[in-house]
Amino acid sequence: MKQLSLALLIPIALLMVLPIASASYTIIHFNTTAALNLNGSAQVSEVYTVQMTNASLGQYESSRVSLNLTLSQWQQLLGPALAPHILNPKSGVYGFKFIPGPPTQSGPGLYTSSVLMTYIVQNVTSVNQTAPRTYQYTFNNSVFNFEHAASGQVLNPQATFTIVLPGGSSIISVYPIPDSPSSAFTKNYQNVTEVSWDAGEPLSKFALQFVVKQSLGGEVVQFFTTVYKALGIFAYVIIIAVILLFILYTYLKAEATKDSLHKSTARKRGVRKR
C-alpha cells in the first residue's frame, strides 16, 4: 500500500462527517503529528486510541494478525474516523504503514488499543528564499482532511494536531494561536520546536509561516545537491576534475616555489665564493 489513489481519498473525506463509533469499537482520541521537512514534505504519524468491548476483542485480535487487510477494511471495522488527515490529492501519500497495537484492559468488559498510521505527504509547505541563506516556509492548509463544518474544516472533537518544525526554525506567524505550548505566544515563539492544537479549532483559515537560516556548510551541501540533480552522474565527474585540477595546481605551485628557493640559494652561494 505504497500510495493511496485519489479514488480512495474521496470516499475517505466523505466518511469524515459520520459518527466515529463503529459497532462496539469507538475511537476515543487521535493525535495527528506532521513533522515538516526542509524539502516541503511531511512525515505524518497518527495515533488512534480505540476502545472496544469484550465481545469485539476476538475480532480485533484476529484482524491484527491478518496482514492483508486494507485500510478500507479497517475503516469498516473501527469506524470512518480512521483515515489520513493530512493529504495531497495531487500526489497521494507514500510509505504508508498501519500498525494496530495490542489491546489492554481498561475497565470491566472494556479494552483499549493504540493504532498507529504513518505516511509521507509531499508539498505540505512551500518555500521562498528571502535573503542569503534565509528561507521562508508557508504551510499549505489545503492538505487538511479533518471534520467538515458549515464554516469549513475544524479539528475533530476527539483530536489533537501537532506540527514539528525543522531544526533551526523560527515561527514568524501562526493562526489560530496554538493551545500548546501555552506561553509561546507571549514569548514570540522563541525556541519553539513544535506546536499543537486541541479539539474544535477552526482550520479554514489556518496559517503558519516560519524561517530557516541555513549555515554556510548547509549552503555548500545544497549547492552540490542542486548540481547533482541538474547534471546527474556528470556532477561527480566535474567535482573530481575540479579536485584533480586543484591538486595539480597546488603541486605545480609547490614545485615552482621549490625551484625558486634552489635558485635563490645558488645565487647566495655564488656571491659568497666571490
Write out pLDDT tens, residues 97-131: 999 999 999 999 999 999 999 999 999 999 999 88
Q: Please, which pLDDT band fits residue 20 given cuts at 50, 70 and 90?
A: very low
214, 232, 257 — which closes off a domain?
214
Cα–Cα separations (whole angstroms), residue 128 to 94, 214, 225: 25, 13, 18
| 203 shares its domain with 231 | no
| 153 shares its domain with 256 | no
- Whether residue 24 contacts residue 52, with contact meaning beta carbons closer than 8 Å, is answered with yes
Q: Which domain holds residue 147?
A: 6-214
Question: Has residue 73 been placed in a domain?
Answer: yes
| 119 shares its domain with 233 | no
- Whether residue 53 contacts residue 15, with contact meaning beta carbons closer than 8 Å, is answered with no
Q: Is the pLDDT of residue 57 over 70?
A: yes
Of the listed ranges 7-16, 104-113, 168-177, the one predicted with least confidence: 7-16
Quote the pLDDT of residue 7. Answer: 42
| 123 shares its domain with 25 | yes
CATH number at residue 203: 2.60.40
Quote the pLDDT of residue 97. Answer: 94
Backbone torsions φ then ψ of 240, nearest 5 degrees: -65, -40
| 202 shares its domain with 90 | yes
Strands 207-213 and 169-175 turn out to be antiparallel
Quote the pLDDT of residue 126. Answer: 95
| 149 shares its domain with 251 | no
Task: Write the DSSP symbol of residue 220.
Answer: H
Q: Please, which pLDDT band fits residue 232 given cuts at 50, 70 and 90?
A: low
Q: Is the pLDDT of residue 191 over 60?
A: yes
Of the listed ranges 40-44, 171-175, 209-213, 227-231, the one predicted with least confidence: 227-231
pTM across the whole model = 0.71
Return the HEC string of 55-99.
HHHHHHHHHHCCCCCCHHHHHHHHCCCCCCCECCCCCCEEEEEEE
Q: What is the CA radius of gyration of the chain?
A: 29
Quote the pLDDT of residue 249. Answer: 85
214, 241, 258 — which closes off a domain?
214
| 206 shares its domain with 226 | no
Question: Has residue 1 been placed in a domain?
Answer: no
